[in-house]
Structure 1
């Protein structure tokens, strides 16, 4: 058996499945988005996602993605719902019910009390003319031409396409609600993601004795002493009014050490970088990382609105703050 050939066949079948679902997107998808928006914005409700078998796992992932991107959602297992977990659902909510065949007994059973509550049902199914389709207020097709399984039975292409559809719904809802990076950060308070999106430059910058500065015209020796005292990788060179003239870094020093005679006696202006990249104190920590990556630099000066130096950010501090 050619393992790679078979693996490629599976990829092709699943990609074809996603393309089919993408091509079938229609007014049902639009209605589903509008209904969810109305539920969470006007009714203060949530999305309750129900499915059994493989769709139960897909539903959990969908609920997690929805919730982390601003659309409150939970997964409800139909069997557990019939034995007490139905309390998850309220009249203000909306249900997304998933079954490719649309004939899952466990799912259909729980939809009956859902209907009695007057809760709207969105069906993700490959068979609109199924029992699930009959219960649904809105139908979104997840029809695929075939599964990757050689028996056309194990959910593969259909669940992959359903997962992609769930991501599409989540991202459309994100955009429709004007969900911003700060909103995302509030939902991820732990870990590097939360820290880079919640911390601001003023929370991580060096100030006072930990931020090296020297006046324009100072010898490189003074700049080096200032950097050493601050245990910093750079020094801000400032005009008499404390506005930024330039920056000298460890790298600048090393590059000129051999080629410039009596370097430490030379004015720092001769080797500093003029008009360096700078930060404002209200920028996010992620902006620091983006500048580091984009321009391949390790040190940044923080200035106020009048270009006066108020601090510095050193890449060596990032691991300690757990944002790098």
Structure 2
């Protein structure tokens, strides 16, 4: 049993070493052809249509998804289905990104004369510049590997890894060239945790109405402390007769008051409140508010309307529960 376990580990390490070398060898192919491919895709007014058969097709699905989510409109077209009608997906405004390690995949090659007749530029991903696919392409991105990680040398392993990495390199180079931001990324991932983190606004998560700890300026500090305790936000907002926020009182302010030996039962809150407190509008992104709170080293703040009236409250715990932290 120990010998079998050892063989498992040796096989796995061999695969990892071979595929690491395949990725390292890719750097030699980041050349003028790679630059030309990026320039053509940037100038494309349509979409990048990714096409590949078998394992290349599986990798092609991932490359098209990565392109689409990073600012380059793209979709996958199956070559066998394209030969039976799906080629209608392709327009003159598009670019075909054709993937075949050998460059001789029959289902893919059958499409190329029609693609050329349509005037659609072809960017190839293959293992040489002398295969049939490369001869049809305006640009060929080399994905040649020294050996497959499969001990039989048959199953696509290193070659598919190299193709995937070349696709990622292409997508990220285009992302940087477009100035694509995390906010742009979130717009194409609204259902994911990143999208939620970047697109969630305060009005979706803030506490409102009776949950707001609000007091009047004439109330005593002891009364305010009871309100703070009841609402559990570690602060209270002081509002004037027009319900505008005059100031706040926090747990930190309490420590300052106690150090000054002020009578909490007799002093009015307006005498010890903090004015000009940090506030935020309801439409502000929660991620932006988090940055403000971290920079100002505060744990909570009030959300106010255009009149300066508190309509909500937020603290670090709420941001944590919402997945912002």
Instruction: Give me the TM-score of the superposition, normalised by structure 2.
Output: 0.78
Query: Within the alignment, does 1:16 sit opposite 2:17 as a pair?
Result: no
Match of 2:140 in 1: 139
- Structure-1 separation of matches of 2:169 and 2:273: 49
Q: Residue 75 of structure 2 aligns with which residue?
A: 74
In structure 1, the residue matched to 2:30 is 25
Mapping 1:1-324, distance limit 5 Å = 1=4, 2=6, 3-39=8-44, 43=45, 45-213=46-214, 221-229=222-230, 231-236=231-236, 242=245, 244=247, 247-248=250-251, 281-288=282-289, 299-302=300-303, 311-315=312-316, 317=318
Write the distance in 2 (CA, Å) between the matches of 1:145 and 1:69: 31
What SS does the aligned partner of 1:97 have?
Answer: strand
Aligned pair in 2 of structure 1 residues 296, 19: CA closer, same or farther (>3 Å)? farther
Distance 2:77 2:96 in 1: 9
Preserved CA contact (<8 Å) 2:246 2:275: no
Give the count of matched residue pairs: 314
Instruction: Report the TM-score, using the length of structure 1 for normalisation.
Output: 0.78
**In the TM superposition, what whole-angstrom CA distance separates every residue of 1:76-127 from its partner, at most 9, and x where no partner exists?**
1111110111111111100001111111122111112111111000011111
Aligned-residue offset at 1:232: 3.4
Aligned-residue offset at 1:46: 0.4
Shift in alpha-carbon separation, 1:244–1:272, aligned structure 2, 3 A:
closer
Unaligned runs of 5+ in 2: none
Question: 2:19 aligns to what SS in structure 1?
Answer: helix
TM-superposed CA distance for 1:74, in Å, is 0.9
Whole-angstrom distance in 2 between the partners of 1:79 and 1:273: 70
Q: CA deviation at 1:155?
A: 1.3
User: What's the offset of the Cα at 1:320?
Assistant: 7.4
Q: Pick which of 137-146 and 49-58 moved more.
A: 137-146
Task: Kindly indicate whether the alpha-carbon contact (under 8 Å) linking 2:303 and 2:313 is maintained by their aligned counterparts in 1.
Answer: yes
Distance 1:274 1:20 in 2: 62
Moved more, 47-56 or 21-30: 21-30
State the alpha-carbon separation in 2 of the partners of residues 273 and 18 from structure 1: 58
Structure ID, larger Rg:
2
| Cα separation, partners in 2 of 1:203 and 1:18, compared to 1, 3 Å | same
What SS is found at the alignment partner of 1:55?
helix
How far residue 62 of structure 1 moved from its aligned partner, in angstroms, is 1.0
The answer for unaligned runs of 5 or more in structure 1 is none
For the aligned residue pairs, the C-alpha RMSD in angstroms reads 4.0
Cα distance in 2, alignment partners of residues 266 and 103 from structure 1: 89
Q: Deviations over 1:6-40 (max 9, x none)?
A: 2222222212111111232011111111111111x
